[in-house]
Amino acid sequence: MKKFAIASLLASLALAGCSTTQLDNERQLVVDGEPTVVKVVNIPSFKVEIAPRKAVCEVPTTEGNVVESECLQYRQPFQKNFNTLHGNIQGFNYEPGHRYVLDVRQETVADEASGQVKPVWILNEEVSKVAEVL
């Protein structure tokens, strides 16, 4: 059932596409251990769980270098493992030691310099915030 839901989501993302044809709007994600190419599209609402701790991750700089940083960890309700979010969620103020469930939206932003479409997450609503012992 989970694989069917993921496949349906990925198919709808792929079919929706992006209205800008000159920019690269495809990204590679790992779903159930398999690399999958998806298109970056606008999504009006979806829920994510934010872990109480950040993870160490590598983030590319504008100069093309990679630096070590701390990133939010998120997962969707049907996922087992957390992923790292290389960026932030606009309108969301993270406090370490709290587990959040958020309703967010994804908007596509064209980066003309790189020729790619990038996803930007924006907070719709903080559904829950629970303190956890670290």
Give the tens place of pLDDT for each residue, 13-39: 444 443 434 555 665 655 566 776 667
Using one digit for the tens of pLDDT, what is the confidence trace for 60-102? 777 878 889 999 999 998 899 999 998 899 999 999 999 999 9
Q: Which of 107, 110, 111 is nearest to 119 (CA)?
A: 107
pTM over 0.75: no
Given a contact cutoff of 8 angstroms between Cβ atoms, the answer to whether 8 and 31 are in contact is no
The pLDDT of residue 40 is 72
Given a contact cutoff of 8 angstroms between Cβ atoms, the answer to whether 63 and 95 are in contact is no
